[in-house]
Amino acid sequence: MATPDEPGAIARGASAPNGSGRGNGTALIEAEHLELYFPVKKGILVDRTVAHVHAVDDVSLVLTEGETLGVVGESGCGKSTLARCLVRLHEPTGGTLRFRGRDITKLNRRGLQPIRREVQMVFQDPVSSLNPRKRVGQIIGVPMRLHGVDGSDVESRVRDLLHRVGLNPEHINRFPHEFSGGQRQRIGVARALAVNPKLLVLDEPVSALDVSVQAQVINLLDDLQDEFGLSYMFIAHDLSIVRHVSDRIVVMYLGKLMEVSPARELYEKPIHPYTQALLAAIPIPDPHENQARARTVLGGEPPNPIDPPPGCRFHTRCPHATEICATTEPPLAEYAGGHLAACHHPQSVGAEEIASAVRSSLSPTSAGDAMPDAEAARQAGDPAPGDPATGRGARTGATPPSPSAGPGSGAP
């Protein structure tokens, strides 16, 4: 078993085959035990730090060249904060971060300069990230010029980019407020693409677009990846879109990784109960099928990130939780095909798979050594593969969730 504290252990462990086609296996970004705690301040004259929001809490992951890593999870679980750490808009409060093998955890503005060019971010909130006094042509053109595109070529390249993200090139002289929400979102994408980055961190890049334009933008991202070998980190709430674009998908909950799955396995084989709950909550875009399905709505409230629960962070809402879940943090167990999950009672996997799982070197330092119990799973009989569409998978546990517990109905 790899000791997580040995430098480089994580990188080696994680560039193992990720069970998908894209990506050449060379690590672009490596995060080890990354932490970002926001101080919570109180006080009248002098601000005192009284507590911390555990926004990103001991997260280790690797993003390889040419790969798309999807990130999903509860609102407020730290996806945007993780993204901002990876592109070093935040300085992590703990752990290390490497870009192409070089430690960038503590680099200052100047040191980060060369990296800024290669790493671009599309922000979740397109309104506050676009300068309201600049015309679109400037918003996209200025960074281009800064990064060495010849002045006379800028306008035609801006027009071309506008067209490629599905915007009318005639609108080059408009101001951001003259666009709709979805149009602004695409301006953000065009601006990020303007400087030919290697890595694009996309925080909800298509959420405000209608499905057809969404498809156009996703297809464009696909093409650019094929053409230039770009890597993407793609944060979104729409799981079907995330599955489509991603090679691997990270599921986060309350600052921690719950599951890292090859994209195509996430739906057929969700191992973590939280992943199952997510899948079960997706409404089906077909009224009849949607009605016919018994949907389990995850009960209880998301816990407080200032004082996260001990043990498994999901245990206060988990339908499968037992005693150990409340006391011992589960490590990330690695199943076949590079599928990782941090859960004492893994779903959709049989006793054999559980027995052959190993403790991943990406596991948080605070996690125990308690690997899931294959014997218990054998006695319980092999679980039926999760079927989130019917909510069946989410209900195969010993303690069924309270039926459709709404907000405020309290944690189990």
Residues in 255-274 that interact with other proteins by CB under 8 A: 264, 267
Contacts with ligand ATP in 179-208 (CB under 6 A)?
179-183, 208
Site string for other proteins, 60-99 (x = CB under 8 A): ------------xxxxxx--x-------------------
- Least distance CB 369 / other proteins (angstroms): 30
Q: Nearest-CA neighbor of 325 among 333, 335, 314?
A: 314
Is there a contact between 167 and 173 (Cβ–Cβ < 8 Å)?
no
Q: Which of residues 308-367 bind ligand ATP (CB under 6 A)?
A: none
Could you give the strand order of the β-sheet that contains 119-122, starting from the edge strand earlier in sequence? Answer: 119-122, 199-203, 231-235, 68-73, 248-253, 256-262, 339-341, 333-335, 358-359
Q: Which two tokens stand for residue 57?
A: 């809490």
One of 8, 39, 111, 181 touching Mg ion (CB under 5 A): 181
By the rule CB under 8 A, 179 interacts with other proteins:
yes
Name the binder of 296 from ligand SF4, ligand ATP, Mg ion, none, CB < 5-8 A by kind.
none
Residues 6+ apart with CB under 8 A from 61: 14, 30, 31, 69, 250, 257, 260, 362
Supply the minimum distance, in Å, between the C-beta of residue 91 and ligand SF4: 31
Mapping DSSP to helix (H, G, I), strand (E, B) and coil, where does residue 28 land?
A: strand
Picked from other proteins, Mg ion, ligand ATP, none, the partner binding residue 127 (CB below 5 to 8 A depending on kind) is other proteins
Q: Which does 138 bind (CB under 5 to 8 A by kind): ligand SF4, other proteins, ligand ATP, none?
A: none
Please check whether residue 217 is in contact with residue 205, taking contact to mean a CB–CB distance below 8 angstroms: yes
With CB cut-offs between 5 and 8 Å by kind, which of other proteins, Mg ion, ligand ATP, none does residue 177 bind? Answer: ligand ATP
**Proportion of the chain in helix, strand, coil states, percent, rounded to 5:** 35, 20, 45
CA pair distance 411, 223, nearest whole angstrom: 45
Read off the amino acid at residue 374.
Answer: A
Contacts of 264 (CB under 8 A, 6+ apart): 20, 243
Interacting partner of 355 out of other proteins, ligand SF4, Mg ion, none (Cβ under 5 to 8 A depending on kind):
none
Instruction: Detail the DSSP E strand segments found in 74-191.
Output: 94-99, 102-103, 119-122
Which stretch, 4-12, 20-28, 175-183, 387-395, contacts Mg ion (CB under 5 A)? 175-183
When asked if residue 325 is in the footprint of ligand SF4 (CB under 6 A), the reply is yes
Near ligand SF4 in 330-349, by CB under 6 A: 330, 343-345
CB of 236 to ligand ATP, least distance (A): 9
The piece of 121-129, 224-232, 279-287, 303-311 that touches Mg ion (CB under 5 A) is 121-129
Q: Return the HEC string of 256-318.
A: EEEEEEEHHHHHHCCCCHHHHHHHHCCCCCCHHHHHHCCCCCCCCCCCCCCCCCCCCCCCCCC
Considering the complex, state which of residue 17 and residue 410 has its C-beta at the smaller distance from other proteins.
410
Residue 55 or 332 having the CB closest to other proteins? 55
Judged by CB under 6 A, the stretch of 154-162, 176-184, 273-281, 397-405 that binds ligand ATP is 176-184
131 vs 399, which CB is nearer to ligand SF4? 399
Q: How far apart are the first and last CA of the chain?
A: 36
Member of 33, 84, 320, 359 binding ligand SF4 (CB under 6 A): 320
**x/- track of binding to ligand SF4 for residues 298-317 (CB under 6 A):** --------------x-xx--
Integer-rounded Cα Rg, in Å, for the chain is 22
Q: Assess contact for 30 and 254: CB atoms under 8 A.
A: no
Contact positions with other proteins (CB under 8 A) in 291-310 = 295, 297-298, 301-304
Please pick, from the candidates 66, 70, 78, 397, the single residue that binds ligand ATP as defined by CB under 6 A: 78
Residues of this chain that bind Mg ion (CB under 5 A): 80, 124, 180-181
Residues of this chain that bind ligand ATP (CB under 6 A): 38, 53, 55, 75-81, 124, 177-183, 208, 305
